[in-house]
Amino acid sequence: MNVMARLNSGTMYLICGGIIAFVAAVCVIFALRAWRAGKAIGMDTSVMLKVIRSSASFSVLPAVAILLGVIALSGALGVPWPWLRLSVIGALHYETQVAHGAAEQVGIELAGEAMTARAFSTIALLMSACIMWGMVLNLFFNKKYSSTLRRRGESKGPSFGDTAMTAMFIGLVSAYIGSYIGSLISGHARFDLAGDPVPLLCAAAAAVGMMIFTRLSKVKGLKWLEDFSLALAMLAGMAAAILFRILFPAAGSGAEAAAESARLMLGGVTL
Amino acid sequence: MTMKDPYESYTKKTHLIGRIATLITLCLLLGAPFVIGAYLGAMPDLGAAARGFISVGLVWTVSSVVEFLVYLPMLGSGGGYLAMITGNLINMKIPCAVNSRDLAGVKAGTKENEIVSTLSIAVSSLVTVLVLAAGVLLLQPLLPVLESPVLRPAFDQVVPALFGAMAFKYYRGHLKLALWPLLLMSALFILVPSLKSQTSIMILPSGALAILLAWFGWKKERAAG
């Protein structure tokens, strides 16, 4: 059996699936404990159900995009390992970057036919080690840090904490929207106006979608829309992206992108 | 004798379970390459891994410290443990937790926010695990759909769609606050096009400016009574 066949073998599914099952069990435990604690402190169960509905509906679309990351990496690393990496701790943008850097260090291209057993186990170790620091910090500092934050949140006087969190999130959103504006105006060089307009247009379409669904959810009888407005607005933005891409075909889109995806699936190209 | 506060006991156990789960996950993730290495008949090259860590890992180490300090207040303690274990923070867990906080109408740093955030991240992680498991199971029949050149642009634009929808929600009530970070970020990305590969780092100056402006606004409101 060659390396790629072994990377896609039942044993690999068992090892990776076992770890994913453990993490899923941890999530179930945390969810059940939070539900019970919420009831114990007198939270309205309908509010908690609303949170569950909204979180579940919102997560489906980003999860499908993450699945595409699994597919992109599967050509070089098999299916089970990227499945594990993107289900546990991994991040879509991180995995391809680190996998590529790790492949360089072991002196191969990140491609199916170039993969050796030693290269794979080294790449796998590096992918795990580089991103583990959030968990290490949680081990040692989560308790102290969150107790400090809680004390501030529950202090009798007016607290800036809630406003600060909203401001931080506005900063986060602004960084991304700013990057879409910058990418459009300075695509490859400063002020070349040759950038890709699709991300900005897609964001605008999703914003319009959000406005429509927020307004509709205020209408009597359509209150249920509130829980799904974010997911539906994202869907509207993504659907609009299909149209925008037809109007503004980017280099490497269409047939070229399809061919690129096919090559990735066959593991014949460096990521 | 005083009655034990159920929330205090919940918090204590959350840290205990969170730490144990984190430790086990760390061992599993770092142990898996060696188990797989034994199965494949070739252990990891530790020298190459160390060199690789210096070249690509250090950046992510710094980024992890920043993520921990900035995102833990948004995630809460239970949500923090779960989010760090399950990953995909910016493109999924943070927006999910913030959106849930808004829907539930709870404030950051409160007991209710801790519950809402944990519930939201646990559900989001479970949905991701389920979607990925179903996707892997049905990979062959799904492949033509997911890789279709027609649908591909939609999946390529999940993050812009997410932040576009969130921008409407958060800019609407805080236009003045959003204006300067948006202008600053747009100007920086226009003047330094190479920054677009560092968007996640640019969240820091953007967030810092937004917090600074919010602080001045908050002080002004308090002074005005």
3-state secondary structure chain B: CCCCCHHHHHHHHHHHHHHHHHHHHHHHHHHHHHHHHHHHCCCCCHHHHHHHHHHHHHHHHHHHHHHHHHHHHHHHHHHHHHHHHHCCHHHHHHHHHHHHHHHHCCCCCCHHHHHHHHHHHHHHHHHHHHHHHHHHHCHHHHHHHHCCCCCHHHHHCHHHHHHHHHHHHHHHHCHHHHHHHHHHHHHHHHHCHHHHHHHHHHHHHHHHHHHHHHHHHHHHHHHHC
- The total of other beta-carbon atoms located within 10 Å of residue B149's CB is 15
As a whole number, the mean pLDDT across chain B is: 90
CB contact under 8 A, A67 and B135: yes
For residue A210, the distance in angstroms to the closest alpha carbon of chain B comes to 5
CB contact under 8 A, B56 and A102: yes
**Are the C-beta atoms of B75 and B97 separated by less than 8 Å?**
yes
Separation CA B68–CA B61 (nearest Å):
11
- Is the CB of residue A216 less than 8 Å away from at least one CB of chain B? no
All residues of chain B having their beta carbon less than 8 Å from the beta carbon of residue A173 are: 163, 166-167, 170-171, 178
- Is the CB of residue A225 less than 8 Å away from at least one CB of chain B? no
Give Cα separations from A239 to A204, A232, A236, B159 (angstroms): 12, 10, 5, 13
Q: Out of B78, B107, B182, name the one closest to residue A174 (CB).
A: B182
pLDDT of A269 strictly over 60:
no
CB contact under 8 A, B29 and A88: yes
Separation CA B8–CA A75 (nearest Å):
48
All residues of chain B having their beta carbon less than 8 Å from the beta carbon of residue A144 are: none
User: What is the pLDDT, as a whole number, of residue A260?
Assistant: 44
Average pLDDT over residues A39-68: 94
- By C-alpha distance, which of A254, A64, A203 is closest to B127? A64
All residues of chain A having their beta carbon less than 8 Å from the beta carbon of residue B17 are: 26, 29-30, 33
pLDDT band for position B2 (cuts 50, 70, 90): low
User: What is the pLDDT, as a whole number, of residue A90?
Assistant: 75
User: What is the pLDDT, as a whole number, of residue A36?
Assistant: 96
> Which position has the higher pLDDT, A74 or B143?
A74
User: What is the pLDDT, as a whole number, of residue B10?
Assistant: 95
Separation CA A172–CA B181 (nearest Å):
9
Which residue in B has a C-alpha nearest to residue A25's C-alpha? B126
For residue A121, the distance in angstroms to the closest alpha carbon of chain B comes to 5
ipTM above 0.90, yes or no: no
Average pLDDT over residues A222-244: 92
Q: Where are the domains of chain A?
A: 3-135
Residues 65-104 of A with CB under 8 A from B: 65-68, 70-71, 79-81, 83-84, 86-94, 97-98, 101-102, 104
Q: Where are the domains of chain B?
A: 58-137
A177 Cβ contact list (under 8 Å, min separation 6): A200, A203, B163, B164, B167, B182, B185, B186
**Are the C-beta atoms of B118 and B82 separated by less than 8 Å?**
yes
Which residue in A has a C-alpha nearest to residue B139's C-alpha? A71
Separation CA A270–CA B50 (nearest Å):
22
Q: Which two tokens stand for residue B171?
A: 């800019």
All residues of chain B having their beta carbon less than 8 Å from the beta carbon of residue A11 are: 39
For A137-151, A172-186, B28-42, which range has the lowest pLDDT when averaged over its residues?
Answer: A137-151
Sign of CA dihedral B168, B124, A7, B29: positive
Q: CA B107, B207, B19: angle at the middle one, nearest 5?
A: 60
For residue B103, the distance in angstroms to the closest alpha carbon of chain A comes to 7
Q: pLDDT tens-digit profile of B157-207?
A: 988 999 999 999 999 989 999 999 999 999 999 999 999 878 878 888 999
Which residue in A has a C-alpha nearest to residue B171's C-alpha? A170
Q: pLDDT tens-digit profile of A68-123?
A: 888 888 888 999 999 999 998 877 667 777 787 778 878 887 777 788 999 999 99
Q: Which two tokens stand for residue B57?
A: 């890992």
Q: Which two tokens stand for residue B44?
A: 């990891």
Average pLDDT over residues B24-32: 96
Separation CA A24–CA B152 (nearest Å):
29
Q: Indicate the Cα dihedral angle B25, B26, B32, B34, nearest 10°.
A: -160
User: What is the pLDDT, as a whole number, of residue B209?
Assistant: 96
Best of B206, B213, B215, B219 to substitute, by most chain A Cβ atoms within 10 angstroms, is B206
**Are the C-beta atoms of A241 and A198 separated by less than 8 Å?**
yes
CB contact under 8 A, B154 and A125: no
CB contact under 8 A, A242 and B202: no
**Are the C-beta atoms of A179 and B189 separated by less than 8 Å?**
yes
Residues 154-173 of A with CB under 8 A from B: 154, 158-173
- By C-alpha distance, which of B4, B14, B8, B21 is closest to B119? B14
- Is the CB of residue A190 less than 8 Å away from at least one CB of chain B? yes
pLDDT band for position A259 (cuts 50, 70, 90): very low
pLDDT of B124 strictly over 50:
yes
Best of A12, A142, A214 to substitute, by most chain B Cβ atoms within 10 angstroms, is A142
For residue A21, the distance in angstroms to the closest alpha carbon of chain B comes to 9
pLDDT of B85 strictly over 70:
yes
Place of tokens 């900035």: B70
All residues of chain B having their beta carbon less than 8 Å from the beta carbon of residue A38 are: 112, 115-116, 119
Q: Give the rounded percent of residues in chain B with a pLDDT score beyond 90.
A: 63
User: What is the pLDDT, as a whole number, of residue A113?
Assistant: 76
Which residue in A has a C-alpha nearest to residue B165's C-alpha? A207
